[in-house]
Structure formats: structure tokens, C-alpha cells
Structure 1
Amino acid sequence: MTKVVEMKGITKIFPGTVANDNVNFDLNKSETHVLLGENGAGKTTLMNILYGLYQQEKGEIYVNGQLAKITNPNDAIKLGIGMVHQHFMLVHNFTVAENIVLGIEPKKGLKVDMKKAIEDVKAIASKYGFNIDPNEVIEDITVGKQQKVEILKALYRGADILILDEPTAVLTPQEIDELGVIIDNLKAQGKSVILITHKLKEVMKMSDRVTIIRRGKVTGTVNTKDTNIDQLAELMVGRKVNLVVDKDEAKVGREILKIENLNANDNRKIAVVKNLNLTVHAGEVVGIAGVDGNGQSEFIEALTGLRKATSGKITINGKDIFNKSPRMVMESGVGHVPEDRHKRGLILKYSLFENSILGIHRTKPFSKGVVLNYNEVRKHCNKLIEEFDVRTPNDEVMASALSGGNQQKLIVAREISKDPELLIVCQPTRGLDVGAIEYIHKRIIKERDNGKAVLLVSLELDEVMSLSDRIAVMYDGQILDIVDRKDATELKLGILMAGGSLKDDKKEVKGLE
């Protein structure tokens, strides 16, 4: 096997933490090698060193057998290394083609030759089996397509080694399957791929080898064909992990949330939530299933006061909250874990203790009139850090310094600590590892067992099916049907998610019933 990357004895230290401790990692030609580990284990840090965003304190990197000094991403790109980050780096009002050629545009005299750029993009997309229109504008395309643009951007710059950081965190099940096909195509063309992930199902489907990192150290490298999900989970977390959600029958109580004929538009003033009706009761989890882009985001924004609805009725415990401000919605007893933790969940340049009281900063014991009681704020924050195992050196670090998964844990901890009547959780485990997922799932079920109403929105069908007592399927802005969990199968939900009807479609697919 030809080794295209060898990282030997890599050590990286940040103030208060050793992110990588004498790590060894290698990548073979035409293989997919997964870096697996908990949130904050040091996976992304290691790859940021390979891509030149960080420099190691100790250790050596060899690319194609040659010792490499990588001091910035330009050095990495010259060595044929490309990286697609978890949060994409695209210009939203540029087209696909403009983003792909940005910085190395083909020229005709002094002008950019956009005709050639479009032809080049079509050619490279066709070569690797990408179905994408070079003239589409980034802000108008799905997250899955945006990821393809990022991959094409790296390939256009001559990448033979591709690093994909949490590539499936924002994708629908269909897009994850497409990504698997793309990776296979890349390998067939002689490319080598490093996946940073903690999603064990994808690890088993997409990888040839797996290197597990725990708290900055490598705990093992295994061939995927010689391992299984349970073994990987244990190597990753350091203990046995229960991957099945244990829960008793729901004790459904009074109606908490009632939504009647809700209508809302998107930012282009196009109707995306259409006559939506839904109720959620105390002591139950109602899951919203659906392919991304069917109005789920706008629905939750209208429900939580972040978007003005055009018509309808929303009540919490009989109290009208239709088109009320987010503050009034929260004070009516609503906790909200938003789908975009950076945009809606945290103030990234604030400390953890400041973020831990967002929304409740005016209330006792945190507020003394116009002054914050910092002793109480920090006591509260440290309790959340300990209870939810948020990996951080202390409560003073900025939220931006945490890994994505630890940011998510802090948000979930904060919203649950508000003791809401209705807990709205959107993509609650996006970017989380199996240990953290197990804990967050337990906490959601605990809230339900404590008599709270829980509205869950997730693109992970497994998650919706594991946690929900009833499943509402959203398609084209409407709730097409609500299925009791005991009657729900992947087949039935799949039919509804594609806009079909269970009344019309009596087909059975073996293995899904």
C-alpha cells in the first residue's frame, strides 16, 4: 500500500489543554480513512494541522513520502491536500461556478472568462459524478449541494487528498447515500479521503480503516471489515454505550401546544408553511420527520417568534403566542434548542458563563436590577458544564473555542435548565458523538417523563423513530399525516416524506416493515 500521508508524533497544545498528544496517523492511496472520536477529542485539530491552519509543537508530516513543512493552507493545496470544513466557506450571493473558481479564475485578457469557468465546472462535475448546475446561486441551493460545491472547489484546485470534516452532520439520509457514491467515485479516480466523524453507521458504510482518538490520544486503528458499531463506540467513549433509547410508555397529559391553520412565508415571500395543524401534550414527544427544505425551519421560527407568520393561531396552555416576540414566547414556558447553534443558539464571542444564562439573564438569581450577579451566573454555568459533560478548560473561554458538539451540549443544558412547559429541540444531536447522543436522548426522555411536552425536529429518521411517541411528517409546508410510533416504519415514513399517502400506497418492501 502506498502511503500518501504520514503524521508522526504530532503534539498540539492550546492554553489549558493538550489537543493532540503524540498522535500517529497515516492514509493510503485510494482509501477512505475515518478519524473517529468524541467531541473535543482532537480530530479536527489534527486535520487543521495537516491543512496548515495550525502548526504542531512536535512531530513530522510526510506527504507522498517527502517530509512536508505546511505553514498555511496554500502549502497544503500545493501538496494536493484539500479540506471541506463542517461550516462551509462559500460566498452566498455568488453562483456555484464563481465559488469554485474563486481566486484562480480563468482569464480572457484582463477579464474573468466566466464561459470557460462554467465549462470547467461542468467537466469536473461530470468526471466525478456530481449533479450540479454551475449557474445556481449558493443561497438558493440545499446544504447537500453546497457541500458538493466545497468538494468540487478542492478538486478544481488539484486535491488528491480530501479531508471532509463532519460531512454528514447537515445532510438528509438521501444526501448521505449520495455522498457515499461520490466518495466511491473519488477513490476510483485515485483520490484518498479522510473523514472526520462520529456517526458510526456512516463509518461502517463509507470507510476502509478507522483511527479512534480519545482525549487527544490514539486508542487504536482498525480495518472497518474487522469491527462493528458496538466495538467502535466503546473504543471511542471508553465504556459500553447503549445505542438504543430505553423508554417507558408515554403518560400523556393535558394539551400544552395547539397550532391551527398556521401559514408563513420564507425570506423570498413564498408560502412555505401551509395551513399547518398540530397539538403536543404534556408527557409526550412529537417528532417532525421530513426531508430538509419542506418548511420545518420556517415553521419553528414562526412558532418561536423568530419569523412573523401570515395567519393562524398558536397557543401555549391556552395563552395566545401567535406572532409574539421570542422573549414573550420564552416567558410563556417555551425552551428552544435551535437548529443553527451559531446563528441562534450562542453569542460566539461571549464566555460560556454569559452564554449559559441567555434568555434568563433578567431573572433572579442572575440579575440584581441592572447588574448581573456573576457569582450566581458562574455557579449556574459550572453546574451545567458538570452535569452535561461540556468539555472545556473553564467557564471563561469563549463559546467559539468549543468544539461543535460541546457548543450543542451547552445550549441543550441551558434550555433544559429553564424548566420549560414545552421544549422545542431542533437537530438536537447534530455534530454530537455517540456518548453525547446517548446522554442528550436520555435527557429528552427524562423531560417527557417529568411531564413536559417535547416537540422534536430532526433530519435523522433513526432519531425521530427512537424518541417520538407520535411522528408528524412534513412535506411541502404541510403535516401530511401523524403516525403513532408503534405503527411507524421506515417504509411508511419514507412514503409520506416523498409526498405520498398511506391510504393510496399498500406496497410492502421486505426488511422495512
Structure 2
Amino acid sequence: MAKALVLKEITKRFPLVLANDRISLDLEWGEVLALVGENGAGKSTLMKIVYGLQPPDAGEMWVDGKPYRPQSPLDAIRAGIGMVHQHFMLVEPFTVLENLVLGLEPGSPLFLDLEAARRKATALMEALGFEVPLDERVENLPVGLQQRVEILKALYREARILILDEPTAVLTPQEAEELFRFLREYVARGNAAIFISHKLKEVLAVSDRVTVIRDGKVVGTVRTRETSLEALARMMVGREVVLRVEKTPARPGEVVLEVEGLEAPPRLKGVSFQVRSGEIVGIAGVEGNGQTELVEALTGLRPFRGKALLLGRPLPASARGVRDLGASHVPEDRLVRGLVLDFSVKENAVLGDQHRPPFRGFLGFLDDRAAEAHARTLVEAYDVRPRSTALSARRFSGGNQQKIVVGRELLRGPRLLVAAQPTRGVDVGAIEFIHKELVKARDQGLAVLLVSADLSEILALSDRILVMHGGRIVGELTPEEATEERLGLLMAGVTA
């Protein structure tokens, strides 16, 4: 029997980067193949080639034994390949049903036969064992249901090979388990799936085999039942990785941040809490429940109502004012708010503090010597590779970009660090390093507010855990009280 998908010697070059270096792999019918690797290893580029979003420079592909060279995603769909992207590709003002048929509208140019589409979608949902409201606008659905719409859209197009890119990033543990259950049933019907994730526990839970990519090359494929978390991490990074965060009990001191009745449109509906020096307070929750508004309110990026005090003083209404008062901010999207990609490491290292000594020089110009010395300290202390202060930030991998941001914010010597998704989209090696730095800063007396959609990160780092749902704090737990099941229920709004 022919294999579902075969890639042979796939090569893709970009200026200064060999993204895919003669990659060969295969996917069997009836299996889930996990694809893992460091950020920038070449996984997404490879899947874009498979889905017809980019052409390869060299190599061959086969689907079900037939030669395959897509020119567009439409060719991939016709070949039975569907892809669920990490960032959903849905038209939010459209209904679920309208999203399903978009591009493949049933009926004639003069008459859209939505009832035929409804019958097909209903039959699919009955077969799959899940349900979404077909007449509801996508913008009104929680993220877990939006992901089901993405999967249903691929299956509506009769996909027999399903590619899922970081599919659990916005799901509760219960929703993730439902997704795993669906994948097992989907491949049991004779289909196949490729599962891309940084979360190695999930990889071990759902896959049959794992292919590891490093620096654009396949370094190995192993059967899931014959490997371990430690072995996969070692294959990904090329060295031993400590997966468990080692930390002593917190010794909280004075109140650094005090928040009472904080509200910020559109989702933050009134939260109250404190963060003390020497502790990490974790905010858990499915994205879209007010966390972004909370972070932006506390860092001077969004107006708010209510009380917010930093070291007893009201938070200013500007990002510069908040920084000058003693707060640092690791933003949830380093490419949008963390870095200026065309600036050098030297320039990014002082971003936000360029107006303060020692970086402010004669007539307000940047003191180049002070900025260079600071950037060199950052690069060495935070293991940024390559060790260059002159390269632009866009020339670094995601993990090293994040180290630049985290290093800049910690080297300022703040009293409060607001860290939003501090390890999103980075590899296990960078995660290990960043986690150690956050714990070290806590032990030196820093107050840390950690906002993360990654429950394993929340559980590993937090000294207290607050859970947000619907714009409010619905529970507070100690790490000893917090299990993934209990946190997942609170994240879904189940408080009883």
C-alpha cells in the first residue's frame, strides 16, 4: 500500500538561510506523525511547501503514491491535504457555515446552495462526534470552538491528510484532550495527520512516530513508545536539557504591585490582586479572557479604571512613565512590541531607556560607547547567539530574539517584571534558560507577574496562581493545590 505522504530531499533556500536542507520523511496512513524542532529549525517552511504556500528549490513529493508538486493551497486541497494554522484563517464576521464553504461555494454562480453545505457539515459532525453552531458568527465563538471550525473546514474539503501547527496553544487541558481523542479516531479511519508542537508531553501523548528537525535537517525519526521527553529534547537541541525548573520556596517581601477593581475595555471587567517582591504570581487562562488588557493596562499601553499602585504610587498613563517608575515588560509578541527588527542588537538593547543615563549622550543623542558596552553585557550574560551586537534583530532565531528582550528587561534592574507569554514560540533550550533567569530574578527580590497560556509553565514557575475567565479572576491556588484538571476547569469557567 502506498504511503500517505513522502518527501524526498526537499530543499528550500532564502537569502543567507538554508531553511530546509535535503529533508526526507514519510507519513503512513493510519498514523499521527509529530514534527518537532527548535524555533527556526525549518518545520513551518516545510509544511508551507507541502500545503502549496511556497515552492521547494529542489526535491520531490508523493501523495498516496502519486507525484505531487502543488502550485497553491488549492492543489493541496484537491490532493486531500488540509492544514490548521496556528493563527486561525477564518473570516470572523462570517458564520461558521459561510467559512466552511468559502472558496468552494456549492450551487451555481447565481444561487448559493447553503442547505447542501449544511447537510454535509452536519453529517461530518455526527461522524466526528463534535458539534459547532453552523449559524453563529465566528467572532462570537470561544477559541476552542474556532479551532473545531478550522478542523471541520479542512474535513469539509475531504482532507485525508491533516496538518496541525501548534494546535493546543489556545486550548484548555480538557479541550486539548478532546483534540487528541479526535486525532486518534481520525487516523483510525485510515487517514493520516502531522502534529507540530513545542510541547513534548503532548507529542508523546498523541503521536505514533516523531521526526526531529534541527538546523534545517532531519536528525532522526523515532517511534513514540521507544523514546522519552529527555531523549527528544536532546535530539532537538543537541545537548542535555533540564526540563524541570529547580527553585526554592519563595520568600515574599513588601507589596510591589497592588491592583484593585481594575477594568479595561473590552474584556477586563474588574480584577484585584497583589504581587510582592521575591515571588512569581502566575495568571492562567485561555487567551482572550482579559489577559492582554490587563498586561497593557499595567504597562501604560491602555487606559483603565480602578486602582493600580506600583510601590505605593499610581501607575502613570504612559509606557515611559511606567518604566521610569520601576516596571519592566516582556510583551506577548516580541515582533510587534518587543523589538524593532531592523535595529541592531545594540539599539534594541537600550530600547525604552535611550532617554536615560548612561545611554543619553550630548544633546540627547545616543551614547554609542555606553550602548555598545551594555549590549555586549546582554549578549554574554543571556547567551545570545551569534555573539554580535551589530546584526539586526531579524537575523536571529526566535529563541535568541526572546533572550534579547528578556535580557534587556531584566538588566534594567526593575522592581516589577510583567512577563506575558515569555517563552511563546521558542525551543526547549531557550525555555530552560529563560525559566532559570526568571527564578534567579525572583530570588534576588524581583516581583514577577507571569501571564502565560502554557499551563506547564504556570505550574513550574508560579508561587501563587490566579485563574482568569470572562475578564475576571475566578480562582486563586497554591502550586500544591493546582492540578492541570483543576486549572482547566477554572479556565473554562467552572468554579464549583
Which residue of structure 1 aligns with residue 299 of structure 2? Answer: 304
Change (3 A) 1:497 1:36: closer
Change (3 A) 1:489 1:398: closer
In structure 1, distance between residues paired with 2:224 and 2:155: 26
In structure 1, distance between residues paired with 2:346 and 2:101: 42
Which residue of structure 1 aligns with residue 20 of structure 2? Answer: 20
User: SS of the residue aligned with 1:3?
Assistant: coil
User: SS of the residue aligned with 1:280?
Assistant: strand
Which residue of structure 2 aligns with residue 162 of structure 1? Answer: 162
Change (3 A) 1:340 1:132: farther
In structure 1, distance between residues paired with 2:321 and 2:80: 52
User: SS of the residue aligned with 2:247?
Assistant: coil
In structure 2, distance between residues paired with 1:361 and 1:225: 52
- 1:96-175 equivalences in 2 (<5 Å): 96-108=96-108, 110-175=110-175
What's the CA shift for 1:487?
4.9
AA of the residue aligned to 1:234: R
Q: How many residues align?
A: 494
Task: Give the conservation status (yes or no) of the 8 Å contact 2:212–2:236.
Answer: yes
In structure 2, distance between residues paired with 1:262 and 1:69: 54
- Aligned to 2:321, which of 328, 344, 348? 328
Which residue of structure 1 aligns with residue 80 of structure 2? Answer: 80
Which residue of structure 2 aligns with residue 450 of structure 1? Answer: 444
AA of the residue aligned to 2:320: R
- 1:37-436 equivalences in 2 (<5 Å): 37-108=37-108, 110-266=110-266, 272-274=268-270, 276-310=271-305, 312-321=306-315, 324-346=317-339, 356-364=349-357, 368=361, 369=363, 371=365, 384=378, 387-388=381-382, 396=391, 399=394, 405=399, 407-436=401-430
Question: What percentage of aligned pairs have identical amino acids?
Answer: 50
In structure 2, distance between residues paired with 1:389 and 1:110: 61
Change (3 A) 1:500 1:152: closer
In structure 1, distance between residues paired with 2:343 and 2:80: 37
Task: Give the conservation status (yes or no) of the 8 Å contact 2:380–2:387.
Answer: no
What's the CA shift for 1:314?
0.7
Deviates more, 1:138-147 or 1:213-222: 138-147
What's the CA shift for 1:80?
1.8
TM, length-normalised to structure 2: 0.89
Structure 1, residues 365-384: CA drift from partner, whole Å, max 9, x if none? Answer: 55555655677667756765
What's the CA shift for 1:251?
3.0
AA of the residue aligned to 2:413: D
Change (3 A) 1:248 1:131: same
User: SS of the residue aligned with 1:39?
Assistant: coil
Deviates more, 1:110-119 or 1:245-254: 110-119
In structure 2, distance between residues paired with 1:404 and 1:137: 34
User: SS of the residue aligned with 2:204?
Assistant: helix
What's the CA shift for 1:91?
2.1
In structure 2, distance between residues paired with 1:393 and 1:121: 53
What's the CA shift for 1:104?
1.7
Q: Kindly indicate whether residue 476 of structure 2 is the aligned counterpart of residue 482 of structure 1.
A: yes
What's the CA shift for 1:97?
2.1
Deviates more, 1:348-357 or 1:297-306: 348-357
In structure 1, distance between residues paired with 2:19 and 2:217: 9
In structure 2, distance between residues paired with 1:354 and 1:146: 39
What's the CA shift for 1:34?
0.7
What's the CA shift for 1:396?
4.7
In structure 2, distance between residues paired with 1:363 and 1:162: 52
Change (3 A) 1:391 1:162: farther
Task: Give the conservation status (yes or no) of the 8 Å contact 2:342–2:392.
Answer: no
User: SS of the residue aligned with 1:25?
Assistant: strand
Change (3 A) 1:485 1:337: same
Deviates more, 1:182-191 or 1:226-235: 182-191
Task: Give the conservation status (yes or no) of the 8 Å contact 1:40–1:402.
Answer: no
Q: How large is the Cα RMSD of the aligned pairs? A: 3.0
In structure 2, distance between residues paired with 1:350 and 1:150: 36
What's the CA shift for 1:151?
2.1
Change (3 A) 1:481 1:50: closer
AA of the residue aligned to 1:126: E
Task: Give the conservation status (yes or no) of the 8 Å contact 1:173–1:460.
Answer: no
